[in-house]
């Protein structure tokens, strides 16, 4: 039986909410951290690296409740979303759409790559790739190519996660060799289709937002089920959405989002357990 945990994007509050769900389910004897395959996109790449690190889930959760001293506040509101939609939503060609978003990201004024890398590095309990199979998604800023990093890709875990978290127009694209990469969420907020082949799949999706030619989460889940997988999808409930607030890049909302995720775990436990086994 192959089990896959798919972790979607959603900013610093998405990291916190996902870890809250994982911790709350572990408390109720559903160990998502024991997945055979972990797929991480943007915020989910951070959570994926953390849950595969070997550090106890409870410690990872507790860290979300501490003051977010090392995090840098940013804003991802209507204007930022509008820039993404304008850049990528004017074509039905998915690769061209991502390349246009990449061009916008490269031209944007952002903090330095070095300062951003330090933030990403501080989020990771370990710097080397885990023994567990971990897939981290990103997009080539120039070509729009969708890229999946893993332990065999020759890319450091810090750079892979940094690339996956490089929100266009907010954080700088990450330079790896002679290429620059942006957020894997520009292909899909969740990229659940990478779990194809797993028999049991749990998807944690802080957001399922999609625009232009982006594949929808509902279609990805339908394809997984059509291929024979059992799938459970968990998204923030009303209380979690209120805790997360409107700006998913606000570190001040981190603790509230983590607590909301942990509380929500009680309501979704049976549905997730029925899939996870």
Residue 183 annotated in active site: yes
Taking only Cα atoms into account, the Rg of the chain, rounded to an integer number of angstroms, comes to 17
Length of the chain counted residue by residue: 277
Which residue carries 């999946």 as its tokens?
Answer: 148
Residue 29 annotated in active site: no
The catalytic residue among 183, 188, 193, 250 is: 183
Residue from 207, 211, 233, 236 nearest 222 by CA: 233
The DSSP bridge partners found for residue 197 are none
* Angle (CA) 187 32 249, round 5°: 45
100: alpha, beta or left, given left = phi > 0 and alpha = psi -120 to 50?
A: alpha
Q: How far apart are CA 117 and CA 19, in angstroms?
A: 21
- Contact between residue 216 and residue 210 where contact means Cβ atoms under 8 Å apart: yes
Q: Where are the beta strands (DSSP E) in the chain?
A: 3-7, 37-40, 133-140, 146-149, 174-176, 179-183, 200-204, 230-234
First-to-last alpha carbon distance for the chain, in angstroms, is: 9
List, by residue number, the catalytic residues.
Answer: 42, 183
């Amino acid at each position: 039986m192959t089990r896959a945990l798919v972790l979607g994007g959603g900013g610093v509050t998405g990291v916190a909410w996902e870890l809250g769900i994982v911790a709350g389910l572990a408390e109720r004897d559903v160990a998502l951290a024991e997945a055979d395959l972990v797929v991480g996109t943007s915020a989910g790449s951070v959570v994926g690296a953390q849950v595969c690190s070997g550090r106890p889930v409870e410690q990872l959760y507790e860290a979300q409740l501490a003051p977010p001293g090392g995090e840098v506040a940013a804003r991802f509101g209507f204007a930022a979303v509008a820039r993404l939609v304008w850049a990528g939503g004017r074509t039905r060609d998915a690769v061209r759409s991502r390349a246009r978003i990449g061009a916008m990201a490269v031209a944007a004024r952002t903090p330095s790559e070095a300062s951003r890398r330090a933030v990403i590095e501080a989020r990771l309990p370990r710097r080397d790739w885990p023994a567990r199979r971990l897939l981290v998604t990103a997009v080539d800023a120039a070509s729009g190519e969708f890229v999946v990093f893993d332990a065999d890709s020759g890319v450091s875990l810090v750079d892979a996660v940094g690339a996956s978290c490089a929100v266009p127009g907010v954080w700088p694209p990450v330079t790896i060799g002679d290429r620059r990469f942006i957020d894997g969420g520009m292909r899909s907020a969740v990229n659940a289709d990478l779990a194809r082949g797993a028999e049991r799949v749990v998807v944690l999706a802080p957001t399922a937002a999609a625009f232009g030619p982006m594949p929808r989460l509902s279609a990805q889940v339908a394809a997984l089920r059509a291929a024979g997988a059992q799938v459970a999808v968990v998204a923030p409930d009303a209380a979690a959405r209120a805790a997360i607030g409107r700006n998913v890049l606000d570190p001040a909302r981190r603790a509230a989002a983590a607590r909301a995720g942990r509380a929500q775990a009680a309501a979704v436990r049976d549905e997730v357990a029925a899939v996870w086994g």
